């Protein structure tokens, strides 16, 4: 096994000290009326500053984008100030951090929108259950965004990108996957529009490229990444169908024009998610690597050995880890020493305070001699 995972790499304008990326992880710890990043979040991110790159938790571009409780935003001055404390602390430890810009679309509940339905590409209920802060509630039929509404969403992303730079982030990642708003426009199962934002591949991808154009007005695009999960099937109301692969190829080829920092791709998490689906890809990075003209970050239940295999095969340039970062704030050091990893407690992933958030132990000093 090589140690390529621990070697430096350049993603666009981002110079990474290693290829161990911290994946965006929703933790629901912005527990205050303005969902402002707080001191607890500063501690959490600072503990993990040894990552080559931290991709922040999904950060809402507007109140309209909310889908979960206590998720931070980046539309207000208070939120920008809160995030600035995070970025300054990460930078003081020699780390880099980008802000993942997020709009949940229909993956939301009326309780987050003054009793009104959430919004989406079309008025189609994903028919799943969403976390309401205490348990689970059924989703509702969303309101289809008008063209004017879409233009407002695009402006929200542009403003959020500017706010991210003002907050000291090194760049942004557009969250265009996992069943959220952009994914809802991309997929035929959630987009039945007949206007300029529905029907053809070009139309269904239009909002995404409108957003990249808006972001280009406020920051260099070689500091912008985007995330796709092409094989999300049977989750978050999404389905892999006959045109899914071709649609995602269209998105990636279109993104090639922009000189972006990276494409963040999610591999198949569990073979069962695509079992029996004739339209599915078993290997996501291998399929999109020849198509994408930007660096790739691969994600999807990787361990150290699998990461090295992907890097050695040239399938990606860096690897994003999720759960391992939750339980191991010193993940890079553990990889360097081939040390065992702490086990994560799923009961504290999305609720609580310090427990299961900033209290996971670092390596025993005796192992670091």
Q: What does each of the 369 residues of the chain score in pLDDT, given as a tens digit?
A: 568 999 999 999 999 999 999 999 999 999 999 999 999 999 999 999 999 999 999 999 999 999 999 999 999 999 999 999 999 999 999 999 999 999 999 999 999 999 999 999 999 999 999 999 889 999 999 999 999 999 999 999 999 999 999 999 999 999 999 999 999 999 999 999 999 999 999 999 999 999 999 999 999 999 999 999 999 999 999 999 999 999 999 999 999 999 999 999 999 999 899 999 999 999 999 999 999 999 999 999 999 999 999 999 999 999 999 999 999 999 999 999 999 999 999 999 998 899 999 999 999 766 554
Residue 73 DSSP symbol: B
Distance CA 363, CA 265 (A): 30
Maximum pairwise Cα distance, the chain: 64
- pLDDT (0 to 100) of residue 321: 98
pLDDT tens, position by position, 51-90: 999 999 999 999 999 999 999 999 999 999 999 999 999 9
H helices within 107-243, ranges in order? 147-166, 181-186, 201-216
Packing angle, helices 77-92 and 147-166, rounded to 10 = 40
Q: How many residues does the structure list for the chain?
A: 369
Distance CA 43, CA 30 (A): 13
Query: What does pTM read for this prediction?
Result: 0.97
Q: Tell me whether residue 180 is one of the annotated catalytic residues.
A: yes
Residue 250: left if φ>0, alpha if ψ -120 to 50, beta else—which one? alpha
What distance lies between CA 141 and its chain's CA centroid?
A: 24
Q: Which one is catalytic: 45, 68, 112, 180? A: 180
Q: How far is CA 311 from CA 6, 125, 230, 276, in A?
A: 11, 39, 21, 29
As a whole number of Å, the end-to-end CA separation of the chain is 22
Burial of 159 (0-12, 13-18, 19+ CB in 10 A): middle
Q: How far is CA 101 from CA 38, 159, 268, 272, in A?
A: 18, 11, 23, 30
Centre a 10 Å sphere on the Cβ of residue 259 and count the other Cβ atoms it contains.
Answer: 15
Distance CA 274, CA 361 (A): 37
Beta strands at 318-321 and 20-22: parallel, antiparallel or unpaired? parallel
Distance CA 191, CA 169 (A): 33
Q: Phi and psi for 342 in degrees, rounded to 5?
A: -65, 150
Distance CA 60, CA 62 (A): 5
- pLDDT (0 to 100) of residue 103: 98
- Three-state SS string across 302-369, please? CCHHHHHHHHHCCCCCEEEECHHHHHCCCHHHHHHCCCCCCCCCHHHCCCCCCCCCCCCCCCCHHHHC
């Amino acid at each position: 096994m090589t140690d390529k995972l621990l070697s430096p790499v350049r993603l666009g304008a981002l110079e990474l000290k290693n290829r161990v990326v911290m994946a965006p992880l929703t933790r629901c710890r912005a527990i205050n009326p303005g969902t402002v990043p707080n001191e607890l979040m500063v501690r959490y991110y600072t503990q993990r500053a040894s990552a080559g790159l931290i991709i922040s938790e999904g950060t809402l571009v507007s109140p309209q984008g909310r889908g979960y409780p206590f998720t931070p935003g980046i539309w207000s001055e208070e939120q920008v100030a809160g995030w600035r404390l995070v970025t300054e602390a990460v930078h003081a430890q020699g780390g880099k951090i980008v802000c993942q810009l997020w709009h949940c679309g229909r993956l939301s509940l009326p309780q987050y929108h003054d009793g009104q339905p959430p919004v989406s590409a079309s008025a189609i209920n994903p028919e799943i259950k969403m976390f309401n802060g205490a348990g689970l509630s059924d989703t509702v039929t969303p309101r289809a965004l008008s063209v004017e509404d879409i233009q407002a969403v695009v402006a929200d992303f542009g403003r959020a990108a500017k706010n991210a730079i003002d907050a000291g982030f090194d760049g942004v990642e557009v969250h265009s996957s996992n069943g959220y708003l952009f994914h809802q426009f991309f997929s035929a199962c959630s987009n039945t529009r007949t206007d300029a934002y529905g029907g053809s591949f070009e139309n269904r991808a239009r909002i995404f490229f409108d957003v990249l154009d808006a972001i280009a007005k406020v920051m260099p695009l070689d500091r912008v990444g985007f995330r796709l999960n092409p094989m999300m099937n049977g989750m978050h109301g999404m389905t892999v169908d006959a045109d899914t692969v071709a649609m995602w190829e269209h998105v990636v080829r279109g993104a090639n024009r922009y000189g972006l920092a990276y494409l963040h791709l999610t591999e198949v998490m569990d073979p069962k998610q695509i079992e029996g689906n004739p339209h599915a890809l078993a290997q996501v990075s291998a399929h999109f690597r020849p198509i994408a003209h930007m660096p790739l970050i691969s994600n999807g239940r990787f361990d150290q050995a699998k990461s090295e295999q992907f890097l050695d095969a040239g399938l990606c340039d860096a690897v994003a880890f999720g759960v391992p970062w939750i339980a191991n704030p010193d993940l890079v050091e553990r990889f360097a020493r081939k040390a065992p990893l702490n086990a994560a407690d799923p009961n504290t992933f999305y609720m609580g305070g310090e427990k299961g958030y900033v209290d996971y132990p670092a390596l025993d000093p005796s192992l670091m001699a």
